Chain A
Amino acid sequence: MAAKLLSRLRQLDTRLISPQHQRPFFRNARLFSGQQIPSSDSHPSLPPTPTPTPTPLPPPTAGSAGEKRQRTSSLKDHELAKFAAISDTWWDSEGPFKPLHAMNPTRLAFIRSTLCRHFSKDPNVPKPFEGLEIVDVGCGGGILSEPLARLGATVTGVDAVEKNIKIAHLHADLDPTTSTIDYVCTTAEKLVEEGRQFDAVMSLEVIEHVADPAEFCKSLAALTRPGGAVVISTINRSIRAYAAAIVAAEYILHWLPRGTHQWSSFLTPEELVMILKRSSIDVEEMAGFVLNPLTGKWLLSDDVSVNFIAFATKKAEG
């Protein structure tokens, strides 16, 4: 089903739907959804944490990229202990982040196969991503960044919430392979301003929390080197997703705190493909995540009606 969808989208003439038409729709959707939006436009991308009120933080001091990193050892020992206690919930695979941990191996399997194919890397080695620079936009506690680092990539983890960066840093320092991850408390737009570029840009489960997905996609595109890859995962704006991701997950099963997601801010695969296309990013592969309720395992499938992940590329120059 995902393959048929992609071929339909490629034939779609995007000129029929003008960009002007799209943007008000998104902005209105945000206004009516009751989502918390900071009034200033300097934070266009919201953090992907389940806490409904993200703590607004002053941006880190401007300067060279090396000095922008928040360090944990500038804190006293008792603060370290406090952060250590909190960090367990991000990394507690039975805790509030359980669905994310359960989904993680499946997402990584998709990322591994698509990136290895795109960059012509041998998938049968333990570190297939050696030599690749990857940025994880909206990394949270580093659930995706750490496995990517273990697979050999040079990972930069970016999140707008300082608490998450601290937690991610604390946890990553426990294992020498992951302690090389560069965690930065910043936004995608700021990274673009610095002129940074990466071979692959990951933004998983972020775009449904963002105020302006089109601008966000433009930033992601700017962060990608020509010939690089972009991987985005999100939830479809369908009735089934409303039943599964909001009613079931938040209200019945209590997998996520209430208010984590707003149905109106979900994107359909067609919309995602179109806004990426306008940023010159072509979606090449799409897959859905399906949960088997009996075994509790997540599987990749063609069914994109609830969770889906898209692999896209930026055209190489020349």
Chain B
Amino acid sequence: MNRLVARRNLYSNHDQLKFTWKRGYCSGGEAAAAAGSSASSGHLNHDEHGTFSGNEQPYDLAIVGGGMVGMALACSLATKPLTKHLKVAIVDSNPALANKLSIKMEDPPDPRVSTVTPATISYFQDTGAWQYVQQHRHAYFDKMQVWDYTGLGYTTYDARDVDKDVLGCVVENRVLHSSLLSRIEDTDFQKTIYPSRLASMIRYPSSSVKADGNTREASYAKAGLVKLEMSDGSSLYTKLVVGADGAKSQVRNLAGFRTTGWNYSQNAIICTVEHYVANHTAWQRFLPDGPIALLPIGNNFSNIVWTMNPEQSSDLTAMNEDEFVKAVNHALDHGYGPHPKSSFSNGTNKFSFLGGNLTMSINESFEVPPKVVKLASKRAAFPLSLMHANDYIAKRIVLIGDAAHAVHPLAGQGVNLGFGDAFTLSRIIGEGVAVGTDIGEASLLRKYEAERKPANVAMMAVLDGFQKLYSVDFGPLNALRAAAFHAANYISPLKRSIISYASGEQRLPMFP
């Protein structure tokens, strides 16, 4: 009998304890606490756990790095019914996040641009952010010409080869970023911006029960939540940390992810140039030291991405503007080697036995890119490297974008891989919420890794292969490359496959 009484007393004590602990979660207005508290409403009075400041509620996600890829993830979560209720913290010291800078059409184009593939465009359209991109300068292109300095071959790609209207669209990075931000502002997505840098990350393994009472911190630690501490002293707890902070990712370093990669011993110079006429084609010429690409941005402007040795890049950035324009025209036109011959092979195509519809672009002859008239921005140079994180996930941590992989810019794929990561992760989080999973669970994150890693690695292998293939000037290799140009130009099924892989419609090369 006494034991029963003792047990009853313990129960009532626990009700009290349990209720005050639950009150910690009440300050955010969570309805869950109400369910357990009906029995012990009389014990509200003593509050032994100090103040509960609203900032220390655990977040569902913390996106470290509010760049294009981080904001793409936030935008995608904000616009889907299953995920728009998630509480998200964004850690980035960029002031553009808090006060959106307005970009006017009259502003000169920023040289930092990206080529977005049709797959990325459709992701943006699904979230509703593409309408904002269309309000600023953007340039669709439907043709692309690739050749090299040997003059032995060239390939022209046309969007109509795959029955599409565009091969891609060139947009300034700041436009993409602000479009995603605008779309998020439209929704009532609960996001909190922490305008500082990540200083440290503490992840508690759930078995280390540091029982220092029932403080909120101890309970978060027991739950295995991640604690992020920022350089300005603020801190937050979250169920999932998303590292979207670029190639020198702090999240990746703090979490101890190992990476594989190498430097390319090449620098890329980027700048904006102007022509007399509008440019609607993307041009890429492989030179002995690296490719030069001319991408249309709109309104007679184009963007140059010129890869070369570090010594040459410092020379070219140092020389005056007229000299530089001359060098660019030289590189795009007659410099380093002759023009390839257009093969108008009298109407008969050697490869027509392969069947299939002939692509339209077979009959297009070689064209010289439009002449650059003047430089429209400062020149910037940065080193190139390849980097791939061996794992994209750990418990409660996931990497997306450049934090997970960095590639050569020669095919404009880098940020598209990042957007692919962001939108895939958002979809997988939605699937997890649909079946009540804790979004930081490793099994859910592994689904994301299993989907993105093969695609990213395949693309990186292809790009790295191209980079190596074109960096050697060796007779037989030149002939091989020329044969490759001819094959890509005249074998229609191959050309279609290349276009659809580069457009993001096909996930892996070679497999339909």
A93 touches B442 (CB 8 A): yes
B11 touches A112 (CB 8 A): no
A176 touches B10 (CB 8 A): no
Given A71-B11, A85-B207, A179-B32, residue A126 in contact with residue B433 (CB < 8 A): yes
User: Across the two chains, which residue of chain B brings its CB closest to A174?
Assistant: B223
A146 touches B436 (CB 8 A): yes
Q: How far is the CA of A105 from the CA of B444 in the complex (A)?
A: 10
Is A13 in the interface zone, CB < 8 Å from B?
A: no
Within 8 A of B (CB), among A23-69: 61, 66-67, 69
Is B36 in the interface zone, CB < 8 Å from A?
A: yes
Given A108-B435, A146-B436, A147-B436, residue A67 in contact with residue B11 (CB < 8 A): yes
Is B25 in the interface zone, CB < 8 Å from A?
A: yes
Query: Which A residues lie within 8 Å of B224 (CB)?
Result: 174
Interface centre among B33, B211, B434, B441 (most CB of A within 10 A): B434
Given A61-B4, A66-B39, residue A175 in contact with residue B435 (CB < 8 A): no
Q: How far is the CA of A195 from the CA of B427 in the complex (A)?
A: 43
Is B122 in the interface zone, CB < 8 Å from A?
A: no
Binds A, one of B80-88, B94-102, B146-154, B273-281: B80-88
Is A239 in the interface zone, CB < 8 Å from B?
A: no
Within 8 A of A (CB), among B453-497: none
B211 touches A179 (CB 8 A): no
Q: Contact size class for B?
A: 35 or more
Is B330 in the interface zone, CB < 8 Å from A?
A: no
Q: State the Cβ distance, A162 to closest chain B Cβ, in Å.
A: 14
Is B222 in the interface zone, CB < 8 Å from A?
A: yes
B211 touches A88 (CB 8 A): no
User: Across the two chains, which residue of chain A brings its CB closest to B207?
Assistant: A88
Kindly identify which residue among A124, A125, A149 contacts B436, using a CB–CB cutoff of 8 Å: A149
Query: Which B residues lie within 8 Å of A148 (CB)?
Result: 436
Kindly identify which residue among A74, A81, A154, A177 contacts B14, using a CB–CB cutoff of 8 Å: A74
Is B437 in the interface zone, CB < 8 Å from A?
A: yes
Q: State the Cβ distance, A130 to closest chain B Cβ, in Å.
A: 9
User: Across the two chains, which residue of chain A brings its CB closest to B430?
Assistant: A126
Query: Which A residues lie within 8 Å of B209 (CB)?
Result: 80-81, 84
B206 touches A174 (CB 8 A): yes
Is A218 in the interface zone, CB < 8 Å from B?
A: no
B223 touches A109 (CB 8 A): no
Interface string of B1-30 (1 = CB under 8 A from A): 000100110110110011000100100001
Given A77-B211, A80-B209, A174-B219, residue A180 in contact with residue B436 (CB < 8 A): no
User: Across the two chains, which residue of chain B brings its CB closest to A94?
Assistant: B442
Query: Which A residues lie within 8 Å of B441 (CB)?
Result: 93
Is B349 in the interface zone, CB < 8 Å from A?
A: no
B438 touches A175 (CB 8 A): yes
Query: Which A residues lie within 8 Å of B10 (CB)?
Result: 71, 73-74
Is B190 in the interface zone, CB < 8 Å from A?
A: no
Within 8 A of B (CB), among A168-227: 173-177, 179-180
Is A151 in the interface zone, CB < 8 Å from B?
A: yes
Q: How far is the CA of A150 from the CA of B435 in the complex (A)?
A: 8
Q: How far is the CA of A123 from the CA of B83 in the complex (A)?
A: 13
B443 touches A93 (CB 8 A): yes
Within 8 A of A (CB), among B181-213: 206-207, 209, 211
Given A125-B82, A126-B82, A176-B30, residue A108 in contact with residue B8 (CB < 8 A): no
Is A101 in the interface zone, CB < 8 Å from B?
A: yes
B32 touches A150 (CB 8 A): no
Kindly identify which residue among B17, B81, B442 contacts A124, using a CB–CB cutoff of 8 Å: B81
Interface centre among A80, A151, A174 (most CB of B within 10 A): A174
Q: Contact size class for A?
A: 35 or more
Query: Which B residues lie within 8 Å of A149 (CB)?
Result: 436
Is B510 in the interface zone, CB < 8 Å from A?
A: no
Q: How far is the CA of A176 from the CA of B441 in the complex (A)?
A: 16
Q: How far is the CA of A74 from the CA of B7 in the complex (A)?
A: 8
A71 touches B14 (CB 8 A): yes
A174 touches B222 (CB 8 A): yes
Q: How far is the CA of A174 from the CA of B218 in the complex (A)?
A: 10
Query: Which A residues lie within 8 Å of B83 (CB)?
Result: 126
User: Across the two chains, which residue of chain B brings its CB closest to A61?
Assistant: B4
Q: How far is the CA of A151 from the CA of B432 in the complex (A)?
A: 11
Q: How far is the CA of A148 from the CA of B436 in the complex (A)?
A: 6
Is B105 in the interface zone, CB < 8 Å from A?
A: no
Is B354 in the interface zone, CB < 8 Å from A?
A: no
User: Across the two chains, which residue of chain A brings its CB closest to B219?
Assistant: A174
Q: How far is the CA of A148 from the CA of B14 in the complex (A)?
A: 25
User: Across the two chains, which residue of chain A brings its CB closest to B436?
Assistant: A147
User: Across the two chains, which residue of chain A brings its CB closest to B223?
Assistant: A174
Q: How far is the CA of A151 from the CA of B433 in the complex (A)?
A: 8
Kindly identify which residue among B4, B223, B434 contacts A112, using a CB–CB cutoff of 8 Å: B434
Given A80-B209, A80-B211, A154-B35, residue A73 in contact with residue B17 (CB < 8 A): yes
A61 touches B436 (CB 8 A): no
Within 8 A of A (CB), among B414-447: 433-438, 441-443
Query: Which A residues lie within 8 Å of B36 (CB)?
Result: 179-180
Q: How far is the CA of A147 from the CA of B437 in the complex (A)?
A: 6
Interface string of A131-156 (1 = CB under 8 A from B): 00000000000000011111100100
User: Across the two chains, which residue of chain A brings its CB closest to B58?
Assistant: A176
Q: State the Cβ distance, A79 to closest chain B Cβ, in Å.
A: 11
Query: Which B residues lie within 8 Å of A77 (CB)?
Result: 211
Q: How far is the CA of A74 from the CA of B22 in the complex (A)?
A: 18
B443 touches A101 (CB 8 A): yes
Q: How far is the CA of A193 from the CA of B56 in the complex (A)?
A: 44
Given A105-B437, A108-B436, A125-B81, residue A176 in contact with residue B11 (CB < 8 A): no
Kindly identify which residue among A66, A74, A85, A112 contacts B435, using a CB–CB cutoff of 8 Å: A112
Q: How far is the CA of A80 from the CA of B222 in the complex (A)?
A: 12
Given A61-B7, A74-B14, A85-B207, residue A176 in contact with residue B32 (CB < 8 A): yes
Q: How far is the CA of A73 from the CA of B14 in the complex (A)?
A: 7
Kindly identify which residue among A104, A105, A179 contacts B22, using a CB–CB cutoff of 8 Å: A179
Q: How far is the CA of A123 from the CA of B431 in the complex (A)?
A: 12
Query: Which A residues lie within 8 Å of B81 (CB)?
Result: 124-126
Q: State the Cβ distance, B35 to closest chain A Cβ, in Å.
A: 5
Query: Which B residues lie within 8 Å of A126 (CB)?
Result: 81-83, 85, 433-434
A88 touches B22 (CB 8 A): no
9 smallest beta-carbon distances between A and B, as pairs: A147-B436, A174-B223, A150-B436, A108-B435, A176-B25, A71-B14, A151-B436, A74-B10, A180-B35
- Given A71-B14, A146-B436, A147-B437, list of 18 further CB < 8 A pairs? A61-B4, A67-B8, A71-B11, A73-B13, A73-B17, A74-B11, A93-B441, A93-B442, A124-B81, A126-B82, A126-B433, A146-B438, A151-B435, A175-B438, A176-B32, A177-B32, A179-B22, A180-B35
- A positions within 8 Å CB-CB of B: 61, 66-67, 69, 71, 73-74, 77, 80-81, 84-85, 88, 93, 101-102, 104-105, 108-109, 112, 123-126, 146-151, 154, 173-177, 179-180
List 23 A–B pairs whose Cβ atoms lie within 8 Å, in order of A's numbering: A67-B8, A67-B11, A71-B14, A73-B10, A73-B13, A73-B18, A81-B209, A104-B435, A109-B434, A112-B434, A126-B82, A126-B85, A126-B434, A146-B436, A147-B435, A149-B436, A154-B35, A174-B206, A174-B224, A175-B223, A176-B25, A176-B30, A177-B32
